[in-house]
Structure 1
């Protein structure tokens, strides 16, 4: 019999690898800079029997997980974007063109509300997808905060920026502050645009926010938006629990 503590959920993103056991999904999620750093940490934890992997990083990440699992008698499940699963239908005609992180974020958000919703993931890129009545309607992809700042600095002669992320929101009185506040305003704009779009079509709706930069939208919690730790691992958990249930019968 496989227990939830023996199932590992792994979200391999563009900048880091996040992982947690299925049993501890509502606790702190661990972060590693590389697959090897993740494997080194796992040596001191309860051995896993299953790993559910979402990978939007380099192909070599998946290869390293295949090798690690083969060496340690672990069953690896690499989750890919699907057309239909768990009463949710994808709007893409070619689902292979959608990053699995977006698909898993939608699957996670789908369990959190019965209303039409937008799910916003704030990471290296910011993605926003809209769902109503179990149907994915479409979405947006825009550069994240860091990419926006980098693009400004690299493509303009007299614009400079620092590495600080503002802890409040306002207007700048130096070039560095103007860049920081301007990029933060653009991030806020994704949220406000999602509210505008949904409110034009639905009397009631939800906004679910996740990703490493979710705290940049922390102001949104005051109007009923839901902030979660990691949407991708919660989406992976749906696949993991379905397989564990099948093993019991």
Structure 2
């Protein structure tokens, strides 16, 4: 298999809101995004020769099946990754691994490549997921409403509370209702981060923090510590599988 070039492999991450994609050769770069399979294949068809498509999805199966059918029509080998009990030295804590979203599993696979210490990996998107790994053992994790879900739920549940579309990148307090909502949701997310630091600190004195997701800019106010790494979690988790299976 080692005659496959990384530019012949495309990685596809179907999240809750968008489809993100990247060539394996560009897995460390910011991924591109589109809304539907037609747009995805407009890019695929523009490439010289895509031989493999690696995909992970947290959405319903219909879109995955559509992409699989379009791959078949082009003789592209279609590989969908699922959550596993163990891979790359990571042992899953879930008794039923199919109950864990593949995005969380791939985030851990990505993070484990970037850290030789204990770590927690935090994916900041529509939902925020946090997972803790010590000595290769997944201890468990958290799932929290993301910034926009939290803000929208607050506005929908109250009559005189309003919000704007701004996502804070500096930490502070608000001086009008819209700013108070944004700052309050921001503070709640920061509380999750601090709780994660507190929890991993109770297990190991040395640990790393792997941070990713489309809304990770909400933590831009943090000074990037020596033990913090930024990553395109799902994409780089898929890349690790693809390189292992195709190139070695």
Give the TM-score range, shorter chain.
over 0.9
Q: Secondary structure at the match of 1:146?
A: helix
Q: How many residues align?
A: 246
1:201 CA displacement: 2.1
RMSD over aligned Cα, in angstroms? 1.3
Q: Greater shift after overlay, 224-233 or 148-157?
A: 224-233
Distance in 2 separating the partners of 1:225 and 1:147 = 29
Q: CA deviation at 1:134?
A: 0.6
| Larger mean Cα displacement after TM superposition, 26-35 or 167-176 | 26-35
- Residue equivalent to 1:158: 160
Q: Contact between 1:221 and 1:227, CA under 8 Å: does it hold in 2?
A: no
The secondary structure found in structure 1 opposite 2:46 is coil
Separation (CA, whole Å) in 2 of partners of 1:117 and 1:212: 20
Contact between 2:28 and 2:232, CA under 8 Å: does it hold in 1?
A: no
Distance 1:22 1:74 in 2: 15
The structure 1 segments of at least 4 consecutive aligned residues displaced by more than 3 Å after TM superposition are: none
Contact conserved, 1:18 with 1:31, CA < 8 A, in 2? yes
> Residues 22, 118 of structure 1: CA spacing in aligned structure 2 closer, same or farther, 3 A cutoff?
same
- The residue number in structure 2 matching 1:84 is 86
- Contact 1:118–1:208 at 8 Å: present in 2 too? yes
Counterpart in 2 of 1:117?
119
Does structure 2 retain, via aligned residues, the 8 Å contact 1:214–1:227? no
What are the within-5 Å matches in structure 2 for residues 52-63 of structure 1? 52-63=54-65
* Matches of 1:64 and 1:225, distance apart in 2: 41
Which 5+ residue runs of structure 1 have no aligned equivalent?
A: none
Q: 1:116-152, CA deviations, whole angstroms, 9 ceiling, x for partnerless residues?
A: 1000000000000000001000000000000000100
1-structure distance, mates of 2:14, 2:206: 34
Whole-Å Cα distance in 2 between the matches of residues 225 and 161 of structure 1? Answer: 34
User: What is the distance in 1 between the residues matched to 2:246 and 2:200?
Assistant: 36
Query: 1:46: Cα distance to partner?
Result: 2.6
Query: Scaled by the length of structure 1, what TM-score is found?
Result: 0.95
Q: Which moved more, 1:27-36 or 1:87-96?
A: 27-36
| Distance verdict in 2 for CA 1:221–1:92, change over 3 Å | farther
In the alignment, structure 2 segments of 5+ residues that lack a partner are none
Q: CA deviation at 1:24?
A: 1.3
Q: Distance in 1 between matches of 2:228 and 2:203?
A: 20
Is the 8 Å Cα contact of residues 212 and 231 (structure 2) preserved in structure 1?
yes
User: Which one has more relative contact order, counting CA pairs under 8 Å at least 6 apart?
Assistant: 2
Q: Choose 25-34 or 189-198, whichever is displaced more.
A: 25-34
Taking the aligned partners of 1:22 and 1:223, their CA distance within structure 2 comes to: 28
Report the Cα distance in structure 1 between the residues aligned to 2:150 and 2:118, rounded to whole angstroms: 29
